[in-house]
Amino acid sequence: MKTISENTCFDGTQGVYSHASTACDGDMTFGLFLPAEAKEEKVPLLWFLSGLTCTHENAMTKAAAQGWAAEHGIALVFPDTSPRGEGVADHDDFDLGQGAGFYVNATQDPWAKHYKMWDYIADELPALLAEKFAIDPERQGITGHSMGGHGALTLAMTLPGRYRSVSAFSPISNPIDSDWGRKQFTAYLGEDESTWAKHDASKLMLEKGFDGPILIDTGTKDQFIDLLRPETLADAISKRRQQATFRLQPGYDHSYFFVSTFIEDHIAFHAEALWS
Amino acid sequence: MKTISENTCFDGTQGVYSHASTACDGDMTFGLFLPAEAKEEKVPLLWFLSGLTCTHENAMTKAAAQGWAAEHGIALVFPDTSPRGEGVADHDDFDLGQGAGFYVNATQDPWAKHYKMWDYIADELPALLAEKFAIDPERQGITGHSMGGHGALTLAMTLPGRYRSVSAFSPISNPIDSDWGRKQFTAYLGEDESTWAKHDASKLMLEKGFDGPILIDTGTKDQFIDLLRPETLADAISKRRQQATFRLQPGYDHSYFFVSTFIEDHIAFHAEALWS
Q: Which residue out of A8, A11, A217 would a mutagenesis test of the B interface target, given it has the greatest number of B Cβ atoms within 10 Å? A: A8
CATH number reported for the structural domain that contains residue B63 in this entry: 3.40.50.1820
pLDDT of residue A276: 87
Most B CBs within 10 A among A9, A33, A57, A221, hence the mutation to make, goes to A9
Q: Which of A10, A252, A260 sits opposite B261 (nearest CB)?
A: A10
Phi, psi of B188 (to 5 degrees): -85, -35
Distance from CA of B4 to the nearest CA of A (A): 15
Interface test with A, best of B9, B224, B247, B265 (most A CBs within 10 A): B9
Closest-CA residue of chain A to B14? A257
DSSP states along A214-272: EEEEEETT-TTHHHH-HHHHHHHHHHHT---EEEEETT--SSHHHHHHHHHHHHHHHHH
- How far does A271 lie from chain B, in Å, by closest CA? 20
pLDDT at A223 over 90: yes
Give backbone dihedrals phi and psi of B133, rounded to 5 degrees, phi first: -130, 165
Share of chain B above pLDDT 90, in %: 100
Is residue B59 within 8 Å of B91, Cβ to Cβ? no
pLDDT in tens, A236-259: 999 999 999 999 999 999 999 999
Name every chain B residue with its beta carbon within 8 A of the beta carbon of A221.
8
> Is the ipTM here above 0.90?
no
Question: Does the beta carbon of A68 lie under 8 angstroms from any beta carbon of chain B?
Answer: no
What are the pLDDT digits (tens) for B43-66? 999 999 999 999 999 999 999 999
| Nearest by Cα to A140 from A227, A76, A89 | A76
- Give pLDDT tens digits for B75-96: 999 999 999 999 999 999 999 9
Strand partners, A48: A143
Q: Which residues of A touch B258 (CB under 8 A)?
A: 7-9
Residue type, A202: S
pLDDT digits (tens, 9 = 90+) for A98-156: 999 999 999 999 999 999 999 999 999 999 999 999 999 999 999 999 999 999 999 99
Residue-wise pLDDT for A25-75, tens only, equals 999 999 999 999 999 999 999 999 999 999 999 999 999 999 999 999 999
Q: pLDDT tens track of chain B, all 276 residues?
A: 999 999 999 999 999 999 999 999 999 999 999 999 999 999 999 999 999 999 999 999 999 999 999 999 999 999 999 999 999 999 999 999 999 999 999 999 999 999 999 999 999 999 999 999 999 999 999 999 999 999 999 999 999 999 999 999 999 999 999 999 999 999 999 999 999 999 999 999 999 999 999 999 999 999 999 999 999 999 999 999 999 999 999 999 999 999 999 999 999 999 999 998
Annotated active-site residue A276? The verdict is no
d(CA B66, CA B221): 26
B39/B242 Cα distance (integer angstroms): 37
Measure Cα distances from B152 to A107, B98, B182, B244, B250 in Å.
56, 19, 19, 15, 23
Distance from CA of B43 to the nearest CA of A (A): 20
What pLDDT, on the 0 to 100 scale, is given for residue A187? Answer: 98
A123 is catalytic: no
**Number of domains, chain B:** 1
pLDDT value at residue B132 = 98
Q: For residue B251, what are the domain limits?
A: 2-274
pLDDT value for B117: 98
What DSSP designation does A176 have? G
**CB–CB of B8 and A257 under 8 A?**
yes
Q: What pLDDT, on a 0 to 100 scale, did the predictor assign at position B276?
A: 87
Among candidate residues A56, A254, A266, A270, the one labeled active-site is A254
Residue B7 has its nearest CB partner, among A7, A8, A255, at A255
Output the DSSP codes for A124-148.
IHHHHHHHHSSEEEEEEEEEEBTHH
Amino acid at A200: D
Q: Which residues of A touch B9 (CB under 8 A)?
A: 257-258, 260-261
Torsion sign across C-alpha atoms A229, A233, A236, A238: negative
Interface contact A261-B61, CB threshold 8 A: no
Chain B environment of A248 (Cβ under 8 Å): none
> Is residue B210 less than 8 Å (CB to CB) from chain A?
no
CB–CB contact A64 B64 (8 Å): yes
